[in-house]
């Protein structure tokens, strides 16, 4: 008998949108599916910045346990939330075609504050550090919660703006006219991509999911996550990475950045290589950063996060 593939997801609106997207693609291929929503610790603990919780994979751990316990067959995640090392027995089964990779600023009123002093909200260390690097006189405050909660908090507080991933707002049709595209801000590794994970020994489900995989997105996110993993950043250090494929000349362009938490120090790298060199690109770029002061900077960051 053909089994029903049980899709595990967080219960936020965006997570459910992602799960339903995977469900539709599997249904279109003739597979039976069922969605099972669970709450993660990351969704429940909203009064502390993520880096203070000291847990990698805070949004994915609950679903990992549900899969290992046999309650769900697959889990759908925003790939940027997934630790670079998956639990034993769980494998990456499909990376869907990527959406918008950029960050955007939602703001209230005019943008005069960009030239003077302002207050910006974000729950991301990377966005905080990159913002301070460009706007050292600004105040950055913590902002947690799902997309709708964060937008509501922006409305209720006297902040000038808040930083969001464009992809999440676009998926939910929530992107307002009053936004600025932050094309100078290097995104989180794998931002804009969705990943589906499954149990390594579940051949039926792995075969089904292999048909959803988008190879270009898989390669680019692999490079970005390899850069992150080599720097030992986990999901919380101020690290940005973006890889893109150029079809015209069959090359991959990569940009990576590591910043101090206060944004005062910034180590950047950009490289373009032939597609044949993609497997080591993230590693090689991270090694260059490490050898050019990144090792000391990562040590400082880890010390600060432990305080």
pLDDT of 40 reads 57
Confidence of residue 60 (pLDDT cuts 50, 70, 90): confident
pLDDT of 44 reads 41
Query: Within its chain, how far is the Cα of 274 from the centroid?
Result: 26
- Average pLDDT of the chain is 91
Query: Tokens 């489900």 identify what position?
Result: 205
The pLDDT tens digits of the residues spanning 66-120 come to: 898 899 999 999 999 898 888 899 999 999 999 999 999 999 888 999 999 999 9
Query: In angstroms, rounded to a whole number, what is the distance separating the alpha carbons of residues 84 and 195?
Result: 12
Percentage of the chain exceeding pLDDT 90 = 78
Which residue, 134, 299, 136, is CA-closest to 233?
299
Name the packing angle between helices 278-289 and 215-231 (round to 10°): 30
Determine the average pLDDT of the residues in 157-162. 96
What lies within 8 Å, CB to CB, of 28 at 6+ separation is none
Query: In angstroms, rounded to a whole number, what is the distance separating the alpha carbons of residues 247 and 109?
Result: 41
Query: In angstroms, rounded to a whole number, what is the distance separating the alpha carbons of residues 155 and 139?
Result: 17
Determine the average pLDDT of the residues in 254-277. 97
pLDDT reading at 47 higher than 70: no
Confidence of residue 57 (pLDDT cuts 50, 70, 90): low
Could you tell me the pTM of the whole model? 0.91
pLDDT reading at 58 higher than 70: no
Confidence of residue 45 (pLDDT cuts 50, 70, 90): very low
CB-CB contact of 267 with 293 (8 Å): yes
pLDDT of 81 reads 86
Q: Which residues are catalytic?
A: 81
CB atoms within 10 A of CB 283: 14
Which residue, 120, 125, 121, is CA-closest to 235?
125
- From residue 247, alpha-carbon distances to 96, 217, 252 in Å are 19, 13, 9
pLDDT reading at 52 higher than 90: no
């Amino acid at each position: 008998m053909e089994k029903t593939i049980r899709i595990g997801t967080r219960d936020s609106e965006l997570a459910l949108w992602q799960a339903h997207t995977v469900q539709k693609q599997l249904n279109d291929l003739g597979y039976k599916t069922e969605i099972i929503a669970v709450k993660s610790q990351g969704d429940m603990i909203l009064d502390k910045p993520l880096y203070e919780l000291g847990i990698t994979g805070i949004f994915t751990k609950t679903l990992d346990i549900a899969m290992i316990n046999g309650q769900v067959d697959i889990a759908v995640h925003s790939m940027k939330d997934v630790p670079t090392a998956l639990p034993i027995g769980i494998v990456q089964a499909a990376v869907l075609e990527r959406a918008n990779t950029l960050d955007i600023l939602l703001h209230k009123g005019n943008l005069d504050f960009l030239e003077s002093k302002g207050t910006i909200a974000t729950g991301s260390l990377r966005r905080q550090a990159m913002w301070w690097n460009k706007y050292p006189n600004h105040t950055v405050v913590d902002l947690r919660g799902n997309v709708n909660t964060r937008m509501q908090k922006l409305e209720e507080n006297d902040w000038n703006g808040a930083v969001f991933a464009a992809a999440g707002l676009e998926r939910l049709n929530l992107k307002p006219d009053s936004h600025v595209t932050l094309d100078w801000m290097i995104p989180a590794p794998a931002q804009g991509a969705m990943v589906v994970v499954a149990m390594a020994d579940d051949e039926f489900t792995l075969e089904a999911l292999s048909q959803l995989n988008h190879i270009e997105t898989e390669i680019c996110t692999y490079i970005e996550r390899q850069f992150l993993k080599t720097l030992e950043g986990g999901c919380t250090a101020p690290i940005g990475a973006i890889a893109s494929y150029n079809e015209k000349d069959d090359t991959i362009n990569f940009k990576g950045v590591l910043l101090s938490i206060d944004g005062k120090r910034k180590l950047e790298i950009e490289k373009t290589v032939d597609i044949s060199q993609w497997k080591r690109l993230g590693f090689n770029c991270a090694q260059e950063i490490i050898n050019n002061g990144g090792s000391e900077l990562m040590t400082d960051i880890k010390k600060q996060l432990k305080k």
